[in-house]
Structure 1
Amino acid sequence: MRTRTLYRNIQRLLPTFEAAARHESFTLAGEEVGLSQSSISKQMMELESRLGQPLFVRAHKQISLTPAGHRLLRAYGFAASQVIDALEDLLQESSRTQIVLSTSTANAAFMLLPRVAEVRECFSGGQIFVVTSDPQGLESSGQVDLVLSFGRPDLSDFKSRPLFRDILTPVCSPDFINKNGALRGIDDLLDCDLLYMQAQHLTWIGWRQWLRHFSFELPKNHQPMGFNSYYNTIQACLAGQGVALGWLRLLGDPLRSGQLVTPLPEFLETEDQYHLAWPVDRRPELAIEPFERWLWRQYGGSIPGFTPSKTERIGSPVTSGL
């Protein structure tokens, strides 16, 4: 308690110190803060006494800072600039419209981040703050205005609007094909290095379920490589390390550029859909319709490099991400 009182007594003298140090004059500092030259001098003597060392070199009608004075002025200036920045942020927050958009790391990495400028245009006139949370993309702080998720959000206090389904088919890099040869059928996958993301939610579909739909099972001695992030799974796939199960709505850019290819014609369409969701007790301050139209235009249509000949749907898995 005594230490806190000491610091408070020192802190009250700091604005006066800063004025005197900046002007190098007790008289000019007094004019700025509304005190006499003698009052300023007394306060600086008190501050020096409490710190146990001089802050000013006093000459005839002139003062200058000691090394200790320079050190204190630098520290005070740094702290003051942080306070000013915080004040500006608070003032701007009170006058601007902000939307907190929550989504999964995969959705953010593959859908939103490559097209930040376009996303901004969807929320013209407001600030967008993107937060990521896995597995579904629903950040639980209570501050979320809008959610982009795959599957209907689990929380009952969110209202959701369905968007489009996804297409699942194996993907790999051209280098992987060049090194290992073309895949002639699904059974060739069983001899490949399969990359997978560990399932974290019932909406996630993995290799076991995909293969079983076509009447194949992973061999018991098969050792696929797993990740806890779909982004990392695809990065390994891009590096030619194996074959991943591609969620093609997410992978439009690497498919369009040829970084990834779909080596087999077999595919499945998910029963679950992507959703936009928002709290039932409030709509986002900014209109969500432009963002919804953009999602449909960018991701809801045809998939580059992939033309399905028929549709087979697959429901949600009940076990691991393999």
Structure 2
Amino acid sequence: MRSFPLPPLNSLIAFESAARNLSFTQASIELNVTQGAVSKQIKLLEEYLGKKLLHRSTKKMELTLAGLEYYDTVRKSLFILAEGTDKIRGVHGSQELTVAATTAMTSLWLMPKVSTFQALNEDIELRIVASDNLSETAQYDIVLNYLRFPPRGCRATALFDEEIFPVCSPEYLRKNPNLTTPESLSDCTWLYLEDMQKDWLGWLEWFDGLGIPAPVPKRKLKINSYSMLLQSCLDGQGVALGWSYLVDDYLRSGMLIKPMEPMLKTGSKFWLIESDSYTRNQKGVDNFRNWLIDKIPHI
């Protein structure tokens, strides 16, 4: 019997990771190999197929038309292979639940609460994935993310609305007692989030949403991680934009304060998104969704 023409399997894994992340760097971290190894595997795959899959430039990476088509095939095939492997092994596979969220949501909102879920669901093995690239929902059972609109074809449950307001430390406010209005932010250091997700707002968008001309800040401190940005805010290094629910624990403890009343309510929401592919643990998905919805009024 003639065997099926299969490409190099290691190359498929490298391609799936690089295409999903649109980054050799992220793929190398995810696969625990060097960037050169990822590049070599994808080049090997392109030579095997006789097609260019990824277009690489100094600033960004994009999938070619052939790459887009092939990525969908590879993603689905690897998912089916992983699912079948779990079933054969029979080790925790049917009870594992994978929940993905952005790094900020994971560290600031989700992780402090998951112990209560685990206490109520001892038979479910929870797997938490923190990533700022959550465009591909099929590989996770549940995705938690701020979005204007949830992806099509998925079951999406709105958890709460997006509310954004300035926050600072009590020490910073003592040093800047005139910080009482949006206009007074011109005398402050703005903690500025770089590499924002497309649906996250920055300072200019916040002022625009309130219908107020944005002043020029005294200075900016740019940070590419929201968790690190909040730590800088806690250390009294400037004023940050705070998202409700993400910073509520800090506000309740008094470690951060709202120096002014204006708050922007956007059309975005915090969504619980369930995979549009078959999940190995529907009971776990249902339990997690119901538990989280029940937690919202008490947070």
TM-score, length-scaled by structure 2: 0.62
Instruction: Give the aligned partner of residue 186 of structure 1.
Output: 182
CA shift, 1:184, in A, is 2.5
Secondary structure of the corresponding residue to residue 144 of structure 1: coil
Instruction: Give the aligned partner of residue 194 of structure 2.
Output: 198
Q: 2:104 aligns with which of 91, 103, 106?
A: 106
Provide the C-alpha distance between the structure 2 equivalents of 1:270 and 1:172, rounded to a whole number of angstroms: 21
Does residue 217 (structure 1) correspond to residue 218 (structure 2)? The answer is no
Gaps of 5+ in 1: 1-89, 303-322
Provide the C-alpha distance between the structure 2 equivalents of 1:280 and 1:95, rounded to a whole number of angstroms: 19
| Residue type of the alignment partner of 1:115 | K
Is the 1:182–1:263 contact (alpha carbons within 8 Å) kept by the matching residues of 2? no
CA shift, 1:138, in A, is 4.8
Provide the C-alpha distance between the structure 1 equivalents of 2:294 and 2:113, rounded to a whole number of angstroms: 13
Q: 2:242 aligns with which of 240, 246, 249?
A: 246
CA shift, 1:195, in A, is 0.6
Alignment of structure 1 residues 14-25 onto 2, 5 Å: none
What's the RMSD between the two structures over aligned residues? 2.6
CA shift, 1:134, in A, is 0.5
Instruction: Give the aligned partner of residue 265 of structure 2.
Output: 269
Instruction: Give the aligned partner of residue 234 of structure 1.
Output: 230
CA shift, 1:132, in A, is 1.2
| Residue type of the alignment partner of 1:183 | L
Provide the C-alpha distance between the structure 1 equivalents of 2:125 and 2:257, rounded to a whole number of angstroms: 36
Is the 1:249–1:300 contact (alpha carbons within 8 Å) kept by the matching residues of 2? no
Q: Deviations over 1:239-258 (max 9, x none)?
A: 11000001021112111111
Quick one: structure 1 residues 255 and 169, their matched pair in 2 at CA, closer, same or farther if it must change by over 3 Å? same
Q: Deviations over 1:295-318 (max 9, x none)?
A: 34544568xxxxxxxxxxxxxxxx
Instruction: Give the aligned partner of residue 129 of structure 2.
Output: 131
Provide the aligned length of Structure 1 versus Structure 2: 210
| Residue type of the alignment partner of 1:117 | S
Gaps of 5+ in 2: 1-87
Identity of aligned residues (%): 29
Q: Deviations over 1:209-257 (max 9, x none)?
A: 11122412132x7531121111111010011100000102111211111
Alignment of structure 1 residues 6-17 onto 2, 5 Å: none
Provide the C-alpha distance between the structure 2 equivalents of 1:203 and 1:239, rounded to a whole number of angstroms: 27
| Residue type of the alignment partner of 1:285 | Q
Is the 1:104–1:133 contact (alpha carbons within 8 Å) kept by the matching residues of 2? yes
| Residue type of the alignment partner of 2:250 | P
| Residue type of the alignment partner of 2:215 | L
Secondary structure of the corresponding residue to residue 100 of structure 1: strand
Provide the C-alpha distance between the structure 1 equivalents of 2:294 and 2:229, rounded to a whole number of angstroms: 26
Secondary structure of the corresponding residue to residue 111 of structure 2: helix
Is the 2:144–2:271 contact (alpha carbons within 8 Å) kept by the matching residues of 1? yes
CA shift, 1:157, in A, is 5.0
Alignment of structure 1 residues 170-185 onto 2, 5 Å: 170-185=166-181
- Structure index of larger Rg: 1
Secondary structure of the corresponding residue to residue 227 of structure 2: helix
Quick one: structure 1 residues 244 and 192, their matched pair in 2 at CA, closer, same or farther if it must change by over 3 Å? same
Provide the C-alpha distance between the structure 1 equivalents of 2:105 and 2:180, rounded to a whole number of angstroms: 31
Q: 2:278 aligns with which of 279, 282, 288?
A: 282
CA shift, 1:293, in A, is 4.2
